[in-house]
Structure 1
Amino acid sequence: MAFDKDLIIAKCNELSKNTLMQTLEIEFIDAGEGFLVAKMPVNPNVHQPMGLLHGGASVALAESVGSAASMLFVNSHEREIRGIEISANHLKAKRDGFVTATARIIHKGRSIHLWEIKITDEADQLISICKLTNMVLPRKK
């Protein structure tokens, strides 16, 4: 089966409706072999009290893109993905604009996927770096 980038992006955005991803305005924008990219606006909806991007919003973006990326490797009729661990290092503050998260596969096993997710700003400066472990489970009937 050929890799259809536009179809993958459209499906990820469709699945985000009525979820936290829609609330945070996360939009999937690019996909390729072993990676997935999403962006999120930085505005008061994702600020902490000091007016900066909340670390939890960054982690939600990272887990959203990493979990969706794992779905690219499995038959969604037979398997489902569960995030089981995420770690994040927040390196630079951000007040406005957009951040972009790029998930790249580190390990693709039958039952475990490990992702590195880099969150950058418009100038490609690293804002946060995350590591996400997903478990691949049989879909319950």
Structure 2
Amino acid sequence: MTNRADSLSSEHTLLAHLGIEIVEASGTRVVATMPVDARTHQPMGLLHGGASVALAESVASIGAYLSVADQGLTAVGLEINANHLRGVRAGTVTATATPIHQGRTTQVWQIDIADEQGRAVCTSRCTLAIIPMPAGS
């Protein structure tokens, strides 16, 4: 499987701020980790649901982009949903994204986020629009 994670720069982005690291990236599978710490906590000391959603949309967007970039196209989010299944206070969560549908104008990706013991933390589905790469990108 091709790993194109090294070609993706996340410096000065939400990914960098949240500590998200891309472990594996291709147009058919993306895996990333995110720490559960002060950056990603909600006030009760648990992983913030919004941080999980940011992780989910990030891995789906990267995968969709990688699947169409060689055609001069990119992917932008249209819709995302998430079910938060388990609270996490510390450690690292891992997101795995795989496509459900890769069409000409839209893609749908399934994202599963697990804790360090492999237990389900969040499951998400993200729909992306496939558009021409903006000039200057």
TM norm structure 2: 0.93
Q: 1:9 aligns with which of 5, 10, 19?
A: 5
Count matched residues. Answer: 135
Root-mean-square deviation (CA), in Å? 1.4
Equivalent-residue separation in structure 2 for 1:33 and 1:58 (angstroms): 21
Show structure 2 runs of 5+ residues with no match.
none
Question: What does 1:1-141 align with in structure 2 at a 5 Å threshold?
Answer: 4-5=2-3, 8-12=4-8, 15-31=9-25, 34-75=28-69, 78-141=72-135
Q: Distance in 1 between matches of 2:99 and 2:60?
A: 9
Q: Once the 2 structures are TM-superposed, how far is the Cα of residue 31 of structure 1 from its aligned partner? A: 3.5
Q: Within 1, Cα distance between the matches of 2:60 and 2:26?
A: 13
Letter in 1 for 2:33: K
Secondary structure of the 1:131 match is: strand
After TM superposition, the structure 1 stretch with the greater mean CA deviation from structure 2, 30-39 or 106-115, is 30-39
Runs ≥4 in structure 1, deviation > 3 angstroms?
A: none
- 1:118 Cα shift? 0.1
Describe the superposition over 1:88-128 as per-residue Cα deviations: whole angstroms up to 9, x where unpaired: 00000000000000001100001101000000011110000
What code does the residue aligned with 1:9 have? A
Letter aligned with residue 53 of structure 1: L
Which whole-Å CA distance do the structure 1 matches of 2:31 and 2:59 have between them? 7
